[in-house]
């Protein structure tokens, strides 16, 4: 926050154009703490207009905007009556501000959210700040911010006024709300059940007297609660008429339900609040301090012990999620143990096995349907081989992305992940990378798109950008599919197969670290050292609710990021393969794609795999890496990918070199899109693509020469 503060009274008056923001909270929520954090020592005392009561105000500028912040007296409820509280309430209902920051105490969530809901019934020019989240979270409270925000219909942030957590975001969001020119509307409309008919009657009367639709409803509700503030300007005759209605409603409600109007209103509100809390938050039991300390002694005291445990945790996450998803490496292990049947069963009933069967059925059904509808041949081809294939390629990865995120969320939520990051920091800091980077690295092993997106957990800006530019070196599952196909077709000995596979993984991780270092040091010219500074929450049993929130949130961003680019790209690539100089063509041999493939393959003369089929496959591999196999099969007119690889008839050195190139070059358009969305920089996105292309080229050439010598 750049607090350029204005001290003299003259200067203060000169600033006419400012946004007025008021802080509202129940006593003891941390309002004073927040006010001081926002204004620093530059607050001053002013008088309420026309009153002798004082109020605190502060002025500061933030990104060129002048902000006046008013500290309202703490109020318990909108229905209470001390003089100070009345002033605050009237101020809130009067709407003489650009936005309100309504503070909620995370430690007394129910009571304090009730208070906020009362305000939200009147206006949505509000940002809700859930304060003391630091302490409440440490005690096991989890709040789903996005969900709470959509329940409350206004921007909602989890903050700590004491620690300064999310304060800048709070200022930014509040300014955003304050700058909107719309007039306030109720954020929340509560159903008051039996009172609704009276509310309608009274608000109809008020509407007839010129009240707006929104104001008349809230005025009616407040009247039934005994608050006449909103109708204060009516003349006595009209007011009495309205009050007569209110009186009648009170009586009837009492007779029919045995409850007073106030009671019904309060109960309805509390019910809403309870529902919201149930839907958006959860409490977990945290481990005792002694437990946390003893587990930390294992994880953190001795590096090698910690490293063993941390590696085991990460290895199990990958092993289980990969096995559930593709059967790998479980199928290999079982096959090696001699149980072929079980191995194939695992492959068939792995998630991606089931999914690709489903997509197969869908695609066949759709195709015959299109035939029946007499759709033109090119259209059927475009739909089935272009769109459906491209989209299903991405969707097949959804379960994997979800599962890895789920396991990672469990490790994260239990408190283990932060210890793993501390342990790994010792290794990654050699590359000036903080230990938290194991997080995007592990997720990238599943899929680069969420991998890039998860670089957000890195706090240092240069580090975050350098990681999202280079992390795509890490071999994802799509590339693993290609890797396994190539290795199986090229080498016979299982030992060599595994050796090549493992080497590729190490190579890709090493190249990530090196190019990270290069980008961080020479492109971003960072001078900062990767410092270790990691908060370690108390261990606790992960809550299913929290873990599924996290996993779903991250998988959702995978769908939107990958899904939006894959659709047009699938169409473009299809067009390249099916349109040639002579118009629509059925075989790729006559297409523009072949010409491009030809041109691309010219670059690989040195490595000895200069074939147009390969050039084309490298181009289509840009949609999604596993498409490479498919393209090769189509170009050679076979349905067996291993056969296609044999038909390339490459020397072992060329084959290894090709494989290296495929593993290292830009993974796919979806990853490029993710890189752009994380770095928000075309330059960095280009650097990302160029780095991976050139590194892939150089390393694969190198591979070719080394293995030609052997």
Ligand X SMILES: Nc1nc2c(ncn2[C@@H]2O[C@H](COP(=O)(O)OP(=O)(O)O)[C@@H](O)[C@H]2O)c(=O)[nH]1
469, 682 contact by CB (below 8 A): no
166 binds ligand X (CB under 6 A): no
- What distance in Å separates the CA atoms of residue 503 and residue 182, rounded to the nearest whole number? 60
Nearest distance, CB of residue 295 and other proteins, angstroms: 12
* E strands present in 132-286: 141-143, 156-158, 281-283
161 binds ligand X (CB under 6 A): yes
Phi, psi at 131, each rounded to 5°: -90, 165
Residue 573 C-alpha from the chain's centroid: 29
Q: Point out which span in 61-69, 95-103, 298-306, 595-603 binds other proteins (CB under 8 A).
A: 298-306
Residue 605 contacts by C-beta under 8 Å, 6 or more apart in sequence? none
204 binds other proteins (CB under 8 A): no
Q: Which is nearer to ligand X, 20 or 32 (CB)?
A: 32
- What distance in Å separates the CA atoms of residue 199 and residue 209, rounded to the nearest whole number? 15
Residue 451 C-alpha from the chain's centroid: 11
Q: Which of 3, 162, 266, 600 binds ligand X (CB under 6 A)?
A: 162
Q: Point out which span in 108-116, 194-202, 381-389, 423-431 binds other proteins (CB under 8 A).
A: 423-431
- What distance in Å separates the CA atoms of residue 501 and residue 482, rounded to the nearest whole number? 11
- What distance in Å separates the CA atoms of residue 128 and residue 152, rounded to the nearest whole number? 9
652 binds ligand X (CB under 6 A): no
311 binds other proteins (CB under 8 A): no
Residue 68 contact partner, candidates ligand X, other proteins, none, CB within 5 to 8 A by sort of partner: none
Residue 377 contact partner, candidates ligand X, other proteins, none, CB within 5 to 8 A by sort of partner: none
Nearest distance, CB of residue 533 and other proteins, angstroms: 6
Q: Which of 191, 283, 303, 506 binds other proteins (CB under 8 A)?
A: 303
* Residues touching ligand X, count (CB under 6 A): 16
Residue 320 C-alpha from the chain's centroid: 23
Q: Which of 95, 140, 537, 608 binds other proteins (CB under 8 A)?
A: 537
160 binds ligand X (CB under 6 A): yes
End-to-end CA distance of the chain: give it in Å, rounded: 62
31 binds ligand X (CB under 6 A): yes
Q: Point out which span in 147-155, 157-165, 206-214, 278-286 binds ligand X (CB under 6 A).
A: 157-165
Handedness of CA 474, 477, 480, 481 (dihedral sign): negative
Nearest distance, CB of residue 290 and ligand X, angstroms: 23
| 211 CB-contact burial (10 Å; exposed 0-12 / middle 13-18 / buried 19+) | buried
Residue 534 contact partner, candidates ligand X, other proteins, none, CB within 5 to 8 A by sort of partner: other proteins
Q: Quote the tokens at residue 431.
A: 């590359």
Q: Quote the tokens at residue 649.
A: 């008839």
Nearest distance, CB of residue 266 and other proteins, angstroms: 34
Q: Which of 3, 318, 387, 534 binds other proteins (CB under 8 A)?
A: 534
Residue 529 contacts by C-beta under 8 Å, 6 or more apart in sequence? 432
Q: Which of residues 424-463 bind other proteins (CB under 8 A)?
A: 425-426, 429, 459-460
Q: Point out which span in 160-168, 189-197, 267-275, 320-328 binds ligand X (CB under 6 A).
A: 160-168
Residue 30 contact partner, candidates other proteins, ligand X, none, CB within 5 to 8 A by sort of partner: ligand X
342 binds other proteins (CB under 8 A): no
Q: Quote the tokens at residue 537.
A: 């929450």
Q: Quote the tokens at residue 304.
A: 């090698």
Nearest distance, CB of residue 35 and ligand X, angstroms: 7
Q: Which of 58, 73, 74, 593 binds ligand X (CB under 6 A)?
A: 74
Three-class SS state of 516: helix
Phi, psi at 54, each rounded to 5°: -90, 155
520 binds other proteins (CB under 8 A): no
Q: Which of residues 87-146 bind ligand X (CB under 6 A)?
A: 131-132, 134-135
Residue 491: closest CA among 476, 504, 479, 478: 504
Handedness of CA 603, 609, 610, 613 (dihedral sign): negative
Instruction: Quote the Cα angle for 23-28-33, to 5°.
Output: 55
Q: Which is nearer to ligand X, 24 or 190 (CB)?
A: 24
Nearest distance, CB of residue 32 and ligand X, angstroms: 3
Residue 32 contact partner, candidates ligand X, other proteins, none, CB within 5 to 8 A by sort of partner: ligand X
Phi, psi at 580, each rounded to 5°: -130, -175
Q: Point out which span in 29-37, 360-368, 500-508, 696-704 binds ligand X (CB under 6 A).
A: 29-37
* Interacting residues with other proteins (CB under 8 A): 134-135, 138, 162-165, 292-293, 296-297, 300-303, 418, 422, 425-426, 429, 459-460, 528-529, 531-538
């Amino acid at each position: 926050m750049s607090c350029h503060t204005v001290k003299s009274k003259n200067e203060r008056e000169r600033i006419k154009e400012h946004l007025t923001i008021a802080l509202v909270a129940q006593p003891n929520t941390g309002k004073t703490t927040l006010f001081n954090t926002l204004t620093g020592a530059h607050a001053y005392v002013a008088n309420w207009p026309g009153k002798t009561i004082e109020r605190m105000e502060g002025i500061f500028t933030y990104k060129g905007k002048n902000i006046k912040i008013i500290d309202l007296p703490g109020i318990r409820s909108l229905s209470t009556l001390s003089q100070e509280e009345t002033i605050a309430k009237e101020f809130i209902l009067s709407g003489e501000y650009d936005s309100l920051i309504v503070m909620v105490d995370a430690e007394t969530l129910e009571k304090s959210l009730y208070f906020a809901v009362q305000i939200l019934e009147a206006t949505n020019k509000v940002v809700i700040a859930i304060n003391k989240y630091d302490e409440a979270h440490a005690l096991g409270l989890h709040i789903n911010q996005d969900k709470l925000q959509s329940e409350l219909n206004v921007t909602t942030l989890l903050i700590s006024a004491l620690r300064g957590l999310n304060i800048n975001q709070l200022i930014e969001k509040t300014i955003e709300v304050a700058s909107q020119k719309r007039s306030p509307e109720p954020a929340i409309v509560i159903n008051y059940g039996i009172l609704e008919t009276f509310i309608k009657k009274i608000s109809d009367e008020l509407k007839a007297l010129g009240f707006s639709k929104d104001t008349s409803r809230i005025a009616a509700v407040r009247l039934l609660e005994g608050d006449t503030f909103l109708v204060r300007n009516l003349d006595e005759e009209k007011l009495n008429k309205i009050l007569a209605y209110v009186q009648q409603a009170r009586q009837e409600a009492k007779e029919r339900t045995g409850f007073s109007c106030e009671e019904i209103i309060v109960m309805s509100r509390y019910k809403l609040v309870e529902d919201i809390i149930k839907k958006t938050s959860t409490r977990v039991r945290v481990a005792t301090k002694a437990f946390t300390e003893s587990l930390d002694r294992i994880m953190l005291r001795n590096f090698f012990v910690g490293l063993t445990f941390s590696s085991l945790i990460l290895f199990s996450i990958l092993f289980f999620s990969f096995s559930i998803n593709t059967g790998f490496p479980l199928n290999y292990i079982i096959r090696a143990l001699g149980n072929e049947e079980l191995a194939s069963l695992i492959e068939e009933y792995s998630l991606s096995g089931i999914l690709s069967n489903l997509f197969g059925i869908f695609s066949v059904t759709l195709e015959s349907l299109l035939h029946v509808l007499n759709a033109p041949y090119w259209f059927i081809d475009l739909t089935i081989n272009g769109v459906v294939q491209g989209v299903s390629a991405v969707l097949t990865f959804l379960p994997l992305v979800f599962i890895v995120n789920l396991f990672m969320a469990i490790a994260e939520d239990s408190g283990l992940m932060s210890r793993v990051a501390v342990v790994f920091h010792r290794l990654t800091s050699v590359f000036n990378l903080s230990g938290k980077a194991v997080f995007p690295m592990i997720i990238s092993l599943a899929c680069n798109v969420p991998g890039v997106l998860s670089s957000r957990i890195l706090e240092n800006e240069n580090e975050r950008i350098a990681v999202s530019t280079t992390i795509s070196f890490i071999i994802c599952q799509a590339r693993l599919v290609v890797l396994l196909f190539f290795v199986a077709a090229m080498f016979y000995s299982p030992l060599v197969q595994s050796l090549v596979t493992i080497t590729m993984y190490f190579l890709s991780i090493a190249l990530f670290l090196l190019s990270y270092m290069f980008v961080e040091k020479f492109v971003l010219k960072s001078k900062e050292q990767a410092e270790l500074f990691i908060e370690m929450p108390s261990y606790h049993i992960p809550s299913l609710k929290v873990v599924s929130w996290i996993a779903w949130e991250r998988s959702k961003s995978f769908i939107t990021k990958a899904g939006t680019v894959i659709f047009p790209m699938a169409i473009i690539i299809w067009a390249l393969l099916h349109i040639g100089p002579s118009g629509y063509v059925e075989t790729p041999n006559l297409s523009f794609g072949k010409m491009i493939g030809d041109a691309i393959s010219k670059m690989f003369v040195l490595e000895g795999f200069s074939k147009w089929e390969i050039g084309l496959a490298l181009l289509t591999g840009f949609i999604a890496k596993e498409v490479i196999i498919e393209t090769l099969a189509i170009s050679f007119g076979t349905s067996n990918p291993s056969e296609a690889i044999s038909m390339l008839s490459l020397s072992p050195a060329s084959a290894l070199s090709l494989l290296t190139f495929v593993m290292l070059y830009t993974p796919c358009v979806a990853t490029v899109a993710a890189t752009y969305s994380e770095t928000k920089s075309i330059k960095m996105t280009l650097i990302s693509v160029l780095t991976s292309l050139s590194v892939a080229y150089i390393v694969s050439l190198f591979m070719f020469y080394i293995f030609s010598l052997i």
